[in-house]
Chain A
Amino acid sequence: MLLVVEQFLNGLQFGLLLFLLAAGLTLVFGIMDLVNLAHGSLYMMGAYFAATFAAWTGSFLLGALLALGATLVLGIVLEMSALRHLYGRDHLDHVLATFGLILFFNEAVRLIWGPAGLALPLPAWLTVPVPILPGIHYPAYRLAIIIVALLVALLLYLGVMRTRIGMLIRAGASNREMIGALGINIKLLYTLVFGLGAALAGLAGLMQAPILTVQIGMGENILILAFVIIVIGGIGSIRGAFLAAIFVGMIDTLGRAFLPNLLRQVLSGAAASTAAPALSSMLIYLLMAIVLVVRPEGLFPANRR
Chain B
Amino acid sequence: MKGLSVSKAVTALMLAGLVLLPLYSSVSGNIFILTLFTRIVILALAAASLNLIMGFGGMMSFGHAAYLGIGGYAVGMLAQEGVGSGFIQFPVALAASAIYALVIGALSLRTRGVYFIMITLAFAQMAYYVASGLARYGGDDGLTVYKRSDFAGLINLSDRAQFYYLCLACLFGVIFLIWRIVNSRFGLVVQGLRSNEQRMQAIGFPAKRYQLVCFVISGTMCGLAGALLANNTDFVSPAVMYWTRSGDLMVMVILGGMGTLFGPVIGAVVYLLLEEFLSQITEYWALIMGPLLLLIVLFGRGGIMGLLGRIGRG
Question: In the complex, A288→B243 CA distance in Å?
Answer: 16
Report B223 CB to chain A, min CB distance, Å: 21
Given A100-B289, A281-B132, verify A95-B294 contact (CB < 8 Å). Answer: no
Report B286 CB to chain A, min CB distance, Å: 4
Of B14-22, B89-97, B108-116, B198-206, the one touching chain A? B108-116
Q: Which positions 81-98 of chain A face chain B at CB distance < 8 Å?
A: 82, 85-86, 89, 91-93, 95-97
Report B248 CB to chain A, min CB distance, Å: 8
B290 within 8 A of A: yes
Q: Which positions 275-300 of chain B face chain A at CB distance < 8 Å?
A: 284-287, 289-294, 296-298
User: Which residues of A lie under 8 Å from residue B122 when comparing CB positions?
Assistant: 228, 231, 285, 288-289
Question: In the complex, A106→B133 CA distance in Å?
Answer: 27
Question: In the complex, A231→B108 CA distance in Å?
Answer: 13
Of A130-138, A154-162, A272-280, the one touching chain B? A272-280
A188 within 8 A of B: no
Determine which residue in A89, A100, A296, A298 has the highest number of CB atoms from chain B within 10 A of its CB, and name it. Answer: A100
A110 within 8 A of B: yes
A102 within 8 A of B: yes
Report A170 CB to chain B, min CB distance, Å: 20
Given A95-B250, A108-B287, A274-B139, verify A296-B115 contact (CB < 8 Å). Answer: yes
Question: In the complex, A110→B287 CA distance in Å?
Answer: 10
Of B123-131, B155-163, B164-172, B179-187, the one touching chain A? B123-131
Minimum CB distance partner of B247 in chain A = A99
Given A278-B132, A278-B133, A281-B129, verify A293-B115 contact (CB < 8 Å). Answer: no
Minimum CB distance partner of A270 in chain B = B135
- Contact (Cβ within 8 A) B286 A104: yes
Question: In the complex, A82→B296 CA distance in Å?
Answer: 12
- Contact (Cβ within 8 A) B133 A92: no
Determine which residue in B108, B133, B291 has the highest number of CB atoms from chain A within 10 A of its CB, and name it. Answer: B133
One digit per residue, 1 when the CB lies within 8 angstroms of any chain B CB and 0 when it does not, for chain A 25-36 equals 000010000010
User: Which residues of B lie under 8 Å from residue A296 when comparing CB positions?
Assistant: 110-112, 115
User: Which residues of B lie under 8 Å from residue A97 when comparing CB positions?
Assistant: 293-294, 297-298
Given A235-B114, A275-B133, verify A104-B119 contact (CB < 8 Å). Answer: no
Report B273 CB to chain A, min CB distance, Å: 16
Given A97-B297, A279-B133, A289-B107, verify A107-B285 contact (CB < 8 Å). Answer: yes
A178 within 8 A of B: no
Given A100-B290, A285-B126, A286-B126, verify A107-B284 contact (CB < 8 Å). Answer: yes
Instruction: Determine which of B117, B123, B129, B297 lies in contact with A278 in the assembled complex, contact meaning CB atoms within 8 Å.
Output: B129
- Contact (Cβ within 8 A) B290 A107: yes
Contacts A/B (CB < 8 Å), 16 sampled: A82-B298, A93-B254, A93-B297, A96-B250, A96-B296, A97-B293, A100-B290, A102-B247, A103-B293, A111-B284, A224-B121, A224-B243, A285-B122, A285-B129, A288-B122, A292-B119
Interface residues of A (CB under 8 A from B): 29, 35, 37, 82, 85-86, 89, 91-93, 95-97, 99-108, 110-111, 220, 224, 227-228, 231, 235, 274-275, 277-279, 281-282, 285-286, 288-289, 292-293, 296-298
Interface residues of B (CB under 8 A from A): 54, 60, 62, 107-108, 110-115, 117-119, 121-123, 125-126, 129-130, 132-135, 139, 243-244, 247, 250-251, 254-255, 258, 284-287, 289-294, 296-298
Apart from A100-B251, A227-B118, 8 more pairs, CB < 8 Å: A85-B298, A93-B254, A95-B62, A96-B297, A275-B133, A277-B132, A281-B132, A285-B122
